[in-house]
Each structure stands twice: as structure tokens, then as C-alpha cells.
Chain A
Amino acid sequence: MAGPTSTGTEKWVSDARAQRFSSATSELERLEMELLLLAIFRHHGFDFRSYAPASLHRRIRRHLENTGIPTISRLTELVLHQPAAMQRLLHDLSVNVTAMFRDPSFFLEFRTTVVPLLKTYPTVRIWHAGCSTGEEVYAMSILLEEEGLYERCRIYATDMDSTVLDHARQGIFPLSRMKEYTSNYFGGGGKRSLNDYYTAKYDGALFAPRLAKNVLFTQHNLAMDRGFSEFNVIVCRNVLIYFDRSLKDHVLELFSESFATLGVLCLGRKESLRFTAFEHEFSVLSLREKIFRRNK
């Protein structure tokens, strides 16, 4: 059944028609997208217009599938008239996939490269930008405690979505993932045992409240809010991949303004400062783990 089914002129004509058809539908879909994002921004104040278009488009399509809403235009109408529809969409548009010690080699590198720098500071201010449900924040608290740094740290953990922050404050993560996290923990240079840090309760792992004692979980929208000040470390891993180039530049600018002298910036393993205006403002501490240090 597969293989070329038509030849010569007939095929050529049908190809040309298919091309015209497909470019017209794409145009229409792009227009619908543009109108939806404008409606969300004008009516609700959330600006997704500078998000990376490919993954945003995918999440919107998935939202349509999950909710059974037939078209983007219909979604736009719902977003304008039904607050609940906006809530659900907002939840589907934010990416809240995270893990404790995701990329163990990053945490290992952080211990060997960044910790010695931080040990020379009397106080350390850390900003986790886009912390989602907080797994990575607790992971970092564990690391800092094991390195004897936790008591002098003040950690700001921010996300644009207040519901994930409520989750993060509780410090309860699925027990089913502890096997994976334990393996990550050791890969990241863990010095004790991950179950020293949590109590199993039903199907949840409740992490020790002291790990959140020096953490302020607070709402902050990187796309719209201003920076705040004097951080020694900013951790923002796998967040900027969801922004387009202009918004990424905007956020890097905001980070630049928020650093203390010689601050350390940690990005995701496949993110980079290449192709940005900030490439020369930072030196590389680890190219592989994407850890940078500000030059001034």
C-alpha cells in the first residue's frame, strides 16, 4: 500500500495543491494562535507572546486534546468568558516536570567548583528562578547542608505559578520516585543517605522542614516582574528553553542586574550564553554543566 501511487503531471499537480492547502491552514492556525495569546495577555495579564513557539504550540494542542475543545478560536472564546477555562489552560501551559538532583553531574560539579567559592563568603544569597514544585530547591538545601554552608544561606525560590509554590512549601514528594532520586543523589556526590532527609508517610516522602527553613518560596514572573538584588548564585535550569530569544535576553539582563559581585549563574545542560549579548560578561566555570561566573 505504501510507495509512490501517482506519477508525472498528476503527482506534480496534487503536490502543488497539497502545498497551497497546507500553507493556508498553517497561516490560519498561526493567526488563531496570535489572537489567543493576545486575548490571554489583554484580558488576564499573562504574557505568553514571547514564549518559545514550538513547545508552546505543542502544549496548547495538548490542552485542546485533553479538554476536547475543537479549535484554538473556541479556546480563545472560553478564555475570554470563563475564568475556570483560563485557570486550566494556565496550568497546562506551565511546564512542571522536575526531579531531585536532575543531572547528578551538575550537582557534583557544583560541589567541587562552586562550593569552595561560597565558603569564602560570610553569607550566601541564592535565587532559584522557576523552581516549580521545589524538588531542585530541596536537593540544593541538602547539598549545602552537607557542605556546611546551609546555615549561612538565604534562598529565594520563585515561580510564576502560585499552586506549585504551595506544593513546594509542603516538601512532600512521591515516594515512588525516591529510588530514582537516591541514585541521582549519590551521582551528585551525596555524602549520607537520601532517606536521612525524609519520612515516608502513606505514598509521600515528607522532607525535613529544616531544609526549607532558609528558603523563601515566593511568586515571581520572569517575563513581567523586575529583578531583585545581590545574589551570589542564580540557578535557572531548563527554564529559559521555554522563552524565545528576546525574552531570554530580557531575563539574562534581569539576572545581570540581580547579581552581587562575581555571581555564579547555573543554566541547564543544553542551554548556553552563546548567541546572546551576555556571552562576554561571564567566564566559564564548567562548560559541560553550564556553570558561569560574572566577570565583575
Chain B
Amino acid sequence: MTARYQLVVVGTSTGGLHALTRLLSALPASYRLPIVIVQHRSKDSDERLSGLLRAASLLPVREAEDKEPLQGPGVYLGPPDYHLLVEPSSIALSTEEPVTFSRPSIDVLFESAAYFHGSSVIGVLLTGANQDGTRGLQEIKQRGGYVIVQDPASAESGFMPNNALRNVPADRVLGLDMIAPELVMRATDTEAP
């Protein structure tokens, strides 16, 4: 039996550092699926963000480079001033225009994940104060992927999760501390015959 899910994509904005730290620190070092993250950040942001996440996580955390092989266990963080996309077996970057004022943009990551990885994607949308991510989650859902949205009540900024929930039928709406256990469980699912 092959595993049903092969990839986790995560998007967050305002409040994301705290949320990501909590999420990553609760995942085991053996967590099999690659985790690709877009956290909105300014183009001048330095590598402190990846440093903090690295310190919090048992998994290896790196700022993604173009054409890096995409494989777990490990966390790939979108670098500032680039869009982050996934292809069938590698990371891809782009300098195209910002989307919803953001580069990296969550929608861009999620749409590429949906297109190339279809029903084997788990999309996770966390705290944030804008509309990015909703369109991407729709795409993931349409192509048979699994959608987790942070419970807006548990989010530092509930706007982004709320916006998604108004537009996408999420598979799970979870408090921040329940998202890591859910990811652990879903990683054990096997393919429907």
C-alpha cells in the first residue's frame, strides 16, 4: 500500500513566526513528508526567520534554493523576494510580480502543489491578515488534496483563515496545537484502491 499523501504545503502571514514555531516543534524528527512553507516576509528580511525555525524544529529547515530536490524529511522555507513553487520532484523559484502584494505568495505555492501533486497534497493555512491562500486552497481541494485551516479563534490574526473558510470546504478546522498531530496521522494514510 502506498502512502496517500506525499507533500505538505503551509502558508501564513501575520503571526506566522509564532504559529510556525509551535507547529514545527511538535513534529517528530522522523516526519516523512517534505514541508514547504511560505511565510510572508519583506524583501529585505534576513535569515533570522529560518534560524528561529531551525532552532524550534527537530527537522532540518532550509531556505529553499532553485531546483533543489524536494524530499522529506525536511522543511523548505520560501526565501524573500522570490515566489516559491513546487514541481514533481524539485523546488522552483520565480521573480515574477508579487501576487496579492506578496512575494513569496501562498497562492502561487499552493497552486503549483495542486497542479503537480494533485490529491497527494496536504494544504495548511495558518494565521494572517490578508486574502492570500484562499485561491490556492480552492485549487488543492478541487484536485482532491486535503485542506487544513487553523481555527480563526486560535489565530493571532483570524482574517486569512476566515477568508479561506468562507470560500473553501476545509477537511479540518483545528486549533494550532492540533495541527501537528493531524499531519502525523495523515502521513500514515494509504492510497484508496
Contact = CB atoms under 8 A, between A and B. Distances in A.
A58 B111 contact: yes
Nearest to A27: B118
Interface stretch (B14-22, B26-34, B91-99): B91-99
A272 B95 contact: no
B69 A55 contact: no
A10 to B, nearest CB: 13
Given A97-B97, A275-B67, A4 B172 contact: yes
State the main secondary structure of chain A at its contact with B: helix
Given A3-B172, A58-B112, A270 B118 contact: no
Interface in A211-257: 238, 240-242, 245, 248
A296 to B, nearest CB: 25
What size tier do the contact residues of chain A reach?
Answer: 35 or more
A270 B85 contact: no
B143 A4 contact: no
Nearest to A15: B192
A186 B82 CA distance: 22
Interface in B27-45: none
Contact of B65 (A26, A95, A270): A270
Contacts of B68: 274-275
B66 interface: yes
Contacts of A5: 169
Nearest to B107: A58
A231 to B, nearest CB: 23
A242 B95 CA distance: 9
A245 B70 CA distance: 14
Interface of A: 1-5, 12, 15-16, 18-19, 21-23, 25-26, 29, 52-55, 57-59, 95, 97, 102-103, 238, 240-242, 245, 248, 268-272, 274-275
The 6 nearest A-B residue pairs measured at CB: A22-B144, A54-B85, A22-B143, A16-B192, A18-B144, A19-B119
Given A12-B192, A21-B144, A245-B67, 10 more contacts: A23-B118, A23-B119, A26-B143, A54-B112, A54-B116, A55-B92, A58-B111, A97-B95, A238-B95, A271-B66
